[in-house]
Amino acid sequence: MSQKLGRASEKLAEPVYIRSSASVAGQKEGQGPFGALFDLVGEDDLFGCKTWEEAESTLQKDAVHLALGKAGVGPEEVDFLFAGDLLGQSIATSFGVSCYGIPLFGLYGACSTCGESLALASMALAGGFGERMVCVTSSHFASAEKEFRFPLGYGSQRPLSATWTVTGSGAFVLEKKKHEKSRAKITGFTVGSVVDYGLKDSMNMGACMAPAAASAIERHFQDFGVGPEEYDRIITGDLGTVGQTVLFELLREKGYDIAHKHMDCGIEIFDREKQDTHAGGSGCGCSAVTLSAYILKQLEEGVWRKVLFLPTGALLSKTSFNEGRSVPGIVHGLVIEAV
């Protein structure tokens, strides 16, 4: 049940609770600012597997395992699983979650998929279709480079506008009922549509996604009748430093200044001075592990009361890129509050 605010926005009459979550990250992410907060950090990025794709599947498998363990429930107690990743035909998901046997809705929204999964799971719970849902998304630096650019062995050069795909997976157990250990609650969401400004640079995905982020934020503000002051933080997924600049400019043109409230998971997850990741981190896993390890912690500890969480996605493939197509963006927003 919900109150329809605008076509794209829903305010939940009864909130949905994030009962538990888990983050599994790669070696480089473990050396970054959030390193100590992740539940599990790999010793190397193969996670005991033979291929990068298998390694990414293992990330999802482990993240779901840990999140379920924290909630003290088994996979047979989950109604539906909402999951996705960046690889062609979402194989990290198919092979990562098959062992659980949970009824699955496979999703693709590029790096916005974490937001898409949380919105759909919230809708399923609030609509009365179950008691407990799990959301999981992942990305892996090496599988993503191979999928979208070149295999690592080619040693390709990266411009300063490029982002570094985060190796990581975040899983979330959502429940209809409040529990004494619920980490936070989801109270509403705004579903994004595809926004295409015609940009074609796959090495500057921040700029490609910024228009979609600006569109989602503006739509959210209008639908909910609020402004930046409503939130302790407005948190985008992986715009990076270049995308952030574009976002601020686009929103200023629309009359909104969010600079003092903005945080980008991609900018925060790596140490810019020491880790040589250029414009920041990116990927389906970037916003997911940051939400699990850092954002929910701030809400639990009372540092923040309410945030707008906006995973940002760049809709390209190597085929569309090589055929000269643009890189459209899509961004979904979730209102997440302290319990």
Contact residues toward a copy of itself (CB under 8 A) are: 1-2, 4, 7-8, 10, 51, 53-54, 76, 78-81, 84, 86-91, 94-95, 97-98, 100-110, 113, 116, 119-120, 123-124, 126-130, 146-147, 191-196, 315-320, 323, 325, 328, 330
35 or 106: whose CB is closer to a copy of itself? 106
As a whole number of Å, the CA-based R_g of the chain is 18
37 or 104: whose CB is closer to a copy of itself? 104
Q: How many CA atoms lie less than 13 Å away from 189 in the CB half-sphere? A: 25
The residue among 239, 218, 228, 241 whose CA lies nearest residue 329 is: 239
Q: Going along 159-240, which residue ranges are E strands?
A: 164-165, 168-175, 184-190, 233-236
Q: How far is Cα 295 from Cα 223, in angstroms, rounded to an integer?
A: 24
The residue among 299, 233, 241, 290 whose CA lies nearest residue 261 is: 233
Contact 237, 330 (CB under 8 A): no
140 or 261: whose CB is closer to a copy of itself? 140
- Specify the 3-state DSSP secondary structure of 245: helix
> What's the min distance (Å) between Cβ of 115 and a copy of itself?
11
- Specify the 3-state DSSP secondary structure of 225: coil
204 or 244: whose CB is closer to a copy of itself? 204
User: What type of residue is 256?
Assistant: Y
88 or 159: whose CB is closer to a copy of itself? 88
- Rounded to 5 degrees, what angle do the CA atoms 8, 11, 12 make? 125
> What's the min distance (Å) between Cβ of 214 and a copy of itself?
15
Q: How far is Cα 231 from Cα 262, in angstroms, rounded to an integer?
A: 10
Contact 192, 150 (CB under 8 A): no
123 or 246: whose CB is closer to a copy of itself? 123
> What's the min distance (Å) between Cβ of 207 and a copy of itself?
17
161 or 193: whose CB is closer to a copy of itself? 193
194 or 303: whose CB is closer to a copy of itself? 194
> What's the min distance (Å) between Cβ of 336 and a copy of itself?
19
Q: How far is Cα 211 from Cα 252, in angstroms, rounded to an integer?
A: 12
The residue among 120, 95, 123 whose CA lies nearest residue 108 is: 120
